[in-house]
Amino acid sequence: MKTLKSYVCGRWHEAQDGFVTLVNPATEEAVARASSLGLDVEATLAHARDAGGPALRAMTFAQRGALLKAVSGALHEHREELLDISMDNNGTTRGGAKFDVDGATGTLAFYAALGRKLGDRRLLADGEGVQLGRTSRFWGQHVLVPRRGVAVLINAFNFPAWGFGEKAAAALLAGMPIIVKPATSTSWLTARCVEILVEAAILPSGAVSLICGSTGDLLSHLGPQDVLAFTGSAATALKLRAGENLLKSSTRVNIEADSLNAAVLGHDVRPGSETWNLSLADIVREMTQKSGQKCTAVRRIFVPQAGVDSFIEMMTERLGEEVIGAPRDGSVTMGPLATAAQLTDAVTGIARLAEVAAIVHGSGRRCDGVGAPAGKGYFLEPTLLRAKADAADGVIHDLEVFGPVATVIPYAGDAASAAAAVGRGGGSLVTSLYTDDQAEAESFLAAGGAFAGRLYIGSAKVAELLPGSGIALPQSQHGGPGRAGGGAELGGLRALELYSQRVALQGNRPLIERAAGTAD
């Protein structure tokens, strides 16, 4: 069995004890083991801060962009191997594996191109300069400079490649060294990504470190110039963000957490119309891609009362076409959940939903998978529920069942009342609205825009261009309010703000403009 190592202080650390076993979720066979026991966290932090930080800050954006391009290229060269690891340790189909791995290399390439465009600068001007005095000789300009600590990047189990790539791209381009900590259960893929980068000797010493296994007491050593970028459950987020030293030092913390994303069909959308079909295709994809283990997956589907029966009929027909099984079997369209614990949580969660909603597709229990040994594997059919009439509040808006599970919620009122119902989820990463009606879209935005980090509006005019609401495109912000963590990642250059300090420069205009790089 493969033993995953950590990469710290410019060398590989192999633990001797304390291992967690990683399994193939389709067969339950052990595939690797990971432990970080014996790791010196203070030395790890010091090496990143003292070697990686200065090396990255000495580079221009163009040079950091060139590093990201090389990182993206090196990972892409090993694409087939990375896809195999994803199938064997994450249980993703080849399509799901591509979503993760190509998402990582694509996002890294996107930030590489931004770095190239920023050119020979080392700091970023933020907004326009402004006259501060009686004359324009006294001038103000905000700039972003790299923070002088280390960025600790903790990721969830479901995106071991993309989660790593999207955080790494922004931090490295901003000029911060990174310590990468993947979820242990699926850490093989991230570990291999870092190994590829180390083998290719792309990054300066200390720019990237990897911890496979527990972080030990690393977070209690973070200080005012460090960043903690966390993706995972709300429960872990709460524990981490309450860390005394993080609060005391005002360490910057970004949280990407649970999200009960909603899809809303507008009243104007007739069964069988192009926009109706678009919504069905999107929602089925969001429920089943990566077996619904996406933070952006649709969990609540708001359908106008009059169309609910047709909607459910068409959804169940499509969900019935899914072939659940081992990702290596060519006929399979949806793999297992990633771990035994995820399956248990999903089955328990469905049972709780079933108290206020009727299951209209799926059994809500483990099933056998095509191409997998009988009785083995964490397989779960896609499960669609229909909210009972009196289920307006509570568990449907509160419980994230992290699997191929969604609940249809009939609604009668206008777009604004649907938006208010979406808001009961307490804040989401993305809400998708399907409508061809300008007024409907605007009234939904006004009433519900504040409840999500992203509003994805599907309509007939853009149907053929839309990638689905679940894709976190690097140009657009990823992160949502409230239960989604209140964080923000991606969004083009906005992503660099997390890893930078904003400084309000004030002084003589020519000096300020030359320093900020805004002089003509």
Where in 81-100 is the site for ligand NAP (CB under 6 A)?
none
Q: Which of 59, 171, 229, 257 binds ligand NAP (CB under 6 A)?
A: 257
Q: Which of 9, 193, 212, 295 is catalytic?
A: 295
Cα 285 to chain center, whole Å? Answer: 17
DSSP designation for 304: E
Which residues are CB-neighbours of 414 under 8 A, at least 6 positions away?
267, 443
Strands (E), 147-277: 151-154, 178-181, 208-210, 227-231, 252-256, 261-265
Which CB atom, from 235 or from 412, has the smaller least distance to ligand NAP?
Answer: 235
Q: 46: part of which helix (H) or strand (E)?
A: helix 41-47
Pick the stretch among 50-58, 256-264, 271-279, 357-365 that binds ligand NAP (CB under 6 A). Answer: 256-264
Q: Which stretch binds ligand NAP (CB under 6 A): 55-63, 171-179, 225-233, 245-253?
A: 225-233
- CA separation for the pair 101, 456 (Å, rounded): 23
Residue 181 or 361: which CB sits closer to ligand NAP? 181
Q: How far is the CB of 239 from ligand NAP (least distance, A)?
A: 6
The enclosing H or E element of 110 equals helix 94-118
Residue 449 CB, shortest distance to ligand NAP, in Å, is 18
CA torsion 279→284→285→290, rounded to 10°? 150
Taking the complex as a whole, the smallest distance from the CB of residue 12 to ligand NAP amounts, in Å, to 19
DSSP-assigned letters across all residues of 469-511? TT---TTSEE--SGGG-S--EESGGGGGGGGEEEEEEEEEHHH
If the CB atoms of residues 140 and 425 are measured against ligand NAP, the closer one turns out to be 425
Contacts with ligand NAP, 434-453, as mask; x by CB under 6 A: --------------------
Nearer to ligand NAP, 18 or 449 (CB): 18
Residue 256 catalytic? yes
Find the part of the chain contacting ligand NAP (CB under 6 A) among 72-80, 121-129, 170-178, 252-260.
252-260
Angle in degrees, CA 429, 432, 438, rounded to 5: 130
**Calpha distance 441→438 (Å, rounded):** 5
Across the beta sheet with 383-387, what order do the strands follow? 357-361, 383-387, 405-411, 298-304, 261-265, 428-434, 452-458
Nearest CB to ligand NAP, comparing residues 118 and 471: 471
Cβ neighbours of residue 357 under 8 Å, at least 6 residues apart? Answer: 385, 386, 387, 388, 391, 396, 407
236 binds ligand NAP (CB under 6 A): yes
Q: Does 233 bind ligand NAP (CB under 6 A)?
A: yes
Annotated active-site residue 166? The verdict is no
Produce one character per residue of 202-215: b if its CB has 16 or more CB atoms within 10 Å, e if not: bbbebbbbbbbbbb
Residue nearer to ligand NAP on the CB measure, 15 or 56:
15
Burial class (CB in 10 A: 0-12, 13-18, 19+), 37: middle
Q: Does 232 bind ligand NAP (CB under 6 A)?
A: yes
Binding to ligand NAP (CB under 6 A): which residues in 370-409?
A: 400, 402
Site size with ligand NAP, rule: CB under 6 A: 30
Least distance in angstroms from the C-beta of 414 to ligand NAP: 30
Residue nearest to ligand NAP (CB): 232
Part of the chain binding ligand NAP (CB under 6 A), chosen from 41-49, 52-60, 194-202, 211-219? 211-219
Given 9, 166, 256, 381, the catalytic residue: 256
User: Which residue type is seen at 164?
Assistant: F
Pick out residues in 279-318 that bind ligand NAP (CB under 6 A).
Answer: 295
Nearer to ligand NAP, 325 or 425 (CB): 425
Q: Are 478 and 490 within 8 A, CB to CB?
A: yes
What sign does the CA torsion over 481, 485, 486, 492 have? negative
Which CB atom, from 217 or from 313, has the smaller least distance to ligand NAP? 217
- Residues from 142 through 201 that contact ligand NAP (CB under 6 A): 154-159, 181-185
Residue numbers 258-277 binding ligand NAP by CB under 6 A = 258-259
Q: Which is nearer to ligand NAP, 259 or 500 (CB)?
A: 259
Options 23, 71, 350, 429; binder of ligand NAP; rule CB under 6 A? 429
Tokens standing for residue 447: 């009433």
CA distance 228 to 487: 11
Cβ neighbours of residue 384 closer than 8 Å, sequence gap 6 or more: 287, 312, 315, 316, 319, 359, 360, 361, 362, 405, 406, 407, 408
Instruction: Output the smallest distance, CB 428 to ligand NAP, in A.
Output: 9
| Bridge partners of residue 124, in order along the sequence | 144
Q: Which string of x and - marks every residue 484-503 that binds ligand NAP (by CB under 6 A)?
A: xx------------------
Q: How far is the CB of 36 from ligand NAP (least distance, A)?
A: 9
Encoded tokens for 288: 């089943």
Tokens of 480: 């949502």
Residues that bind ligand NAP in the complex, under the rule CB under 6 A: 154-159, 181-185, 214-215, 219, 231-233, 236, 239-240, 256-259, 295, 400, 402, 429, 484-485
Active site residues: 256, 295
